Chains A and B, each alone.
Chain A
Amino acid sequence: MTSIAGAVTEFRQLDLMATGDTTVHRLDAKAKVLVTLAFILAVVSLGKYELAALFPFFLYPAVVMALGNLPARYIARKVVVVLPFALLVGMFNPLFDQTVLVRLGPIGISGGWLSFASILVRAALTVGAALILVGITGFPAICQALDQLGMPRIFTVQLLFLYRYLFVLIEEGSRTARARELRAFGGAAGGGLGLRSYGSLLSHLLLRTWLRAERIHLAMLARGFSGEFHPRRTTRFGVREFLFLAGWSSLFLFFRLVNVSQLLGTIITGVSG
């Protein structure tokens, strides 16, 4: 059951980062959500063979992680863990696309390898941006921001409820699962961890969950729940937020239109075109 415990710890860690109190943490969540979206759009809108043009975008995660005091190693590890799907699909590019696009002396690099590398860099950038957003904002504040940006209230309440009971239920599930593993000797005696026990374990968990929902409902009624959740920190969209949003967005636009890597490379190597 180390996997469940591990997942919970990872999850908590990211959640705890959001309690920090740095310049970027204090910004209004709307600005951070919008900057993240602008970042992702700029990155994915680059052509499939662009590789060098993607590198300048690493400036954003580097700066924000530093300002927000996020542990770079932790974020990098999480990014690597979720790469497999992109890796799996991208892997086929070198096989199917063998037209040579770039020549480095005697070595020809095919479009497939170029786009494969591009997919990996894109994946790292976009996944990293999402994790950083949570790390500097926190889930409830992101929900609040989306709510203010026009997300239906029912969906906001759903997200906040889900978030509130996530840890509770994962822990309950992991206790139940541990009990089942121990009784089945970890599946060593040839069974006990099959569908039969899984089905009834899940069903019991489900019924307990259902009863819990009914209790929560009664508690909500007793406390006069009005459909509003209150964030840890109240902020508003001020001058700082405007500057944060405008500054980063125009930088992303610049990176998107001008291949900064190429430009710098041309300057230092003295080669034009």
Chain B
Amino acid sequence: MHMADALLSPAVGGTMWAVSAGTIIYCSRKLRKEMDGGKAPLMGVLGAFIFAAQMINFSIPATGSSGHLGGALLLAILLGPPAAFITIASVLVVQALFFADGGLLALGCNIFNLGFFPAFLAYPFIYKPLAGRAPGKGKIIAASLVAAVAGLQLGAFSVVLETVASGISSLPFATFVSLMQPIHLAIGLVEGLVTAAVVSFVYQARPEIIASVQEARPLARTPLRHVLAAFLALALLTGGFVSWFASKNPDGLEWAIAKVTGSEELAAAQDGVHARLAALQNSIAFLPDYTFKQSGQQPENRGRQESSLGTSVAGIAGGLLTLTIAFLFGVFLRKRGRAA
């Protein structure tokens, strides 16, 4: 479920960073107004609780597998949307830094996928209306199941969109969707059941905890059309970004070559750096017999994208050399550090 840096393009990663950062700033403003002193430690400790809960598993009968709590919907029910979003975001930051789940560029995507949908859509528009003010056990279970499934489906779909828009993975949209959605249906059902179990228990033990969140209902006052307008704007923004890149950028390599002074251009002999190095090169070349001169045959369909044999061998040899240099640098610095 966690999006990874390796699959992201800077455009998509950057956009989602901006979206998530914007949402965090919005939530912080909202919280600063309504925050009583007790909420800060509560949010912090509940974030830590989510970590602890995710490390404990329960066995799912007849499947041999086990499940655990994700926690986003539970946080929304216990804390309300803005505080829940901030808490989920903080959990994801720690996961990205310590457990390297996803990565730092993907953090924007992950906060949005795992935080926005449960806190700002599934909880206020699905859980709350379904559960009502004083829900019984059946209502809690139904509301949690539907809300958790909806939140996770949207999140998973968002992962697919981000991956496809980035264009690093070649997985076609339809295939990826048909892989992700069913898996997250199962995860959503588990999440819904666990959330329901904990919420019903808390309702019995300390009903005032959940009641206090429902009193302050900042989102209930926001008309649905505002939310829809925001969504439309977001969709247009993302769509604009994606189509802009999609039209100019049928694949990443072409874009890289066209946009920036790419490697293919630099490998060409008329280039300045290269020309100056050419003389030097003849004297240093320690694999001189590898003269895979370009035979002038141009590749059939891909034009300049296909490298000739010479450049690929050069690429591999050079790649190994750079790796070795990087490694030796490390070893040398370490040795020196010990000696000092």
Contacts and interface: CB of A to CB of B under 8 A. Distances in A.
Contacts of A67: 333, 337
A198 interface: yes
A102 B277 CA distance: 25
B201 A268 contact: no
B86 A267 contact: no
Interface string A22-35: 10000000000000
B253 A49 contact: yes
A222 to B, nearest CB: 12
B97 A172 contact: no
A206 B202 contact: yes
A189 B210 CA distance: 36
B306 A130 contact: no
Interface in A195-222: 195-203, 205-207, 209-210, 212-214, 216-217, 220-221
**In the complex, which of the residues A40, A59, A160, A269 has the most CB atoms of chain B within 10 Å of its own CB atom?**
A269
A207 B314 CA distance: 63
Contacts, number: 434
Contacts of A59: 322, 325-326, 329
A169 B52 contact: yes
A134 interface: yes
Interface string A41-56: 1011111111111011
Contacts of B55: 3-4, 7, 170, 173-174, 177
A271 interface: yes
Contact of A62 (B38, B45, B326): B326
B313 A187 contact: no
A78 to B, nearest CB: 6
* Dominant SS among interface residues on chain B: helix
Contact of B266 (A123, A176, A263): A263
Interface residues of A, number: 134
Given A62-B330, A155-B86, A158-B40, A261 B319 contact: yes
Interface in A106-144: 109, 111-112, 115, 118-120, 122-123, 126-127, 129-131, 133-134, 139, 142
Nearest to A193: B59
A86 B56 contact: no
Contacts of A256: 260
Interface in B1-28: 2, 4-10, 13, 24-25, 27-28
Contact of A198 (B47, B197, B255, B263): B197
B109 interface: no
**In the complex, which of the residues A97, A120, A166 has the most CB atoms of chain B within 10 Å of its own CB atom?**
A166
B311 interface: yes
A221 B38 CA distance: 9
* Dominant SS among interface residues on chain A: helix
B252 A49 contact: yes
B108 to A, nearest CB: 12
**In the complex, which of the residues B209, B312, B319 has the most CB atoms of chain A within 10 Å of its own CB atom?**
B319
B49 A72 contact: no
Contacts of B59: 187, 193-194
Contacts of B290: 269-271
A96 B100 contact: no
B167 interface: yes
Interface string B274-318: 100110111011111011111000000110011111111111111
Interface of B: 2, 4-10, 13, 24-25, 27-29, 31-32, 35, 37-38, 40-49, 51-53, 55-61, 69, 86-87, 89-91, 93-94, 96-105, 163, 167-172, 175-176, 193-194, 197-198, 201-202, 205-206, 209, 251-257, 260-263, 266-269, 273-274, 277-278, 280-282, 284-288, 290-294, 301-302, 305-319, 321-323, 325-327, 329-334, 337
The 8 residue pairs across chains A and B that have the minimum distance between CB atoms: A161-B44, A265-B318, A199-B197, A173-B52, A47-B256, A198-B58, A259-B263, A62-B330
Interface of A: 3-4, 7, 11, 14-15, 22, 36-37, 40-41, 43-53, 55-56, 58-59, 62-63, 65-67, 69, 72, 78-79, 82, 85-86, 89-90, 92-93, 96-97, 99-105, 109, 111-112, 115, 118-120, 122-123, 126-127, 129-131, 133-134, 139, 142, 151-155, 157-166, 168-170, 172-174, 176-177, 187, 193-203, 205-207, 209-210, 212-214, 216-217, 220-221, 256-273
